[in-house]
Amino acid sequence: MKKQEILQELRERFKDEIVDFFEKSPKRVYIEIKPEAIVKIANCVFKEFGARFNIASGVDARFHMEILYHFTFDEIDLTLSIRTKLDKAKKLEIDSIANIIKGADWIEREIREMLGIDFKGHPNPKRLLLSDDWPEGVYPLRRDYKEWDKGAIRDRGAD
């Protein structure tokens, strides 16, 4: 499939779910979608269009939590980043795509620990990276993160 065909089809099929469409450069396209549509769109992109799932990255922005799902179409050299914004005022949760894409299993667990976003329906929602004595509800990549373990020795540089 050509690049324009893919983008056109996405636009038509998900015209109610796509909020924003942005072609940054010939190789990079960003689309913003409504969070509830992620499973549907991920399924379409991964299973039907045959894209490869690179990774997801979570960002703590000022008013919302952002998750970017990066997909790559290797044959046509296009990286498609699907952006979802979760309102911080509401409960932070989104449907898990790990049931469709096995490669998304770990990264969803990582985002859950780092940013406190719940992935509904994740097959194995165990802790992945943080140690066992790390308290629940403390998320290190959030903007308001404060060091909780006063006894820990950290490298503080010269002082």
Partner 1 sequence: MGKTIVPIGPYHPLQEEPEFFSLTVEGEKVVDVDVQIGYNHRGIEKLSETKTFDQVPFVVERICGICSTSHPFAYVRAVEDIIGVEVPQRAQYIRVIIAEGERIHSHLLWLGLAGHFLGYNTVFMWAWKIREEILDVMEILSGNRNNYAMFKPGGVRRDIKKEDIPTVIKKIDSIPPTLEMLKKAVMDDPVLHSRTKGVGVLTKEEAINYCALGPVARASGVAKDIRKDSPYEVYDKIPWDMIVTQNGDVFDKLVVRVLETFESIKIMKYCLLNLPDGEIDLKLKNIPAGEGIGRIEAPRGECFHYVKSDGTNSPARHKIRAPTFMNLPTYKATIVGETISDATIILAAADPCYCCTERISVRNTKGNKIYSGEDLVRLSQEKTEKIREKIK
Residues that bind partner 1 (CB under 8 A): 25, 27-28, 52-55, 57, 59-60, 68, 70, 72, 74-75, 77, 79, 81, 101-107, 114, 126-131, 140-141
Let me know: does 78 contact 27? Beta carbons within 8 Å. yes
User: Hunting for tokens 């509800």 — which residue is that?
Assistant: 137
Let me know: does 73 contact 95? Beta carbons within 8 Å. no
The β-bridge relationship of strands 118-120 and 93-95 is parallel
Q: How many residues does the chain have?
A: 159
User: Hunting for tokens 């296009």 — which residue is that?
Assistant: 78
Nearer to partner 1, 39 or 128 (CB): 128
CA angle 143, 144, 148 (to 5 degrees): 120
Residue 90 Cβ, how far from partner 1 at the closest point, in Å? 22
Nearer to partner 1, 50 or 121 (CB): 50
Residue 105 Cβ, how far from partner 1 at the closest point, in Å? 6
User: Hunting for tokens 């940054």 — which residue is that?
Assistant: 24
Nearer to partner 1, 95 or 139 (CB): 139
Among 29, 34, 139, CA closest to 14: 34
Residue 28 Cβ, how far from partner 1 at the closest point, in Å? 6
Residue 59 Cβ, how far from partner 1 at the closest point, in Å? 5
Nearer to partner 1, 92 or 114 (CB): 114
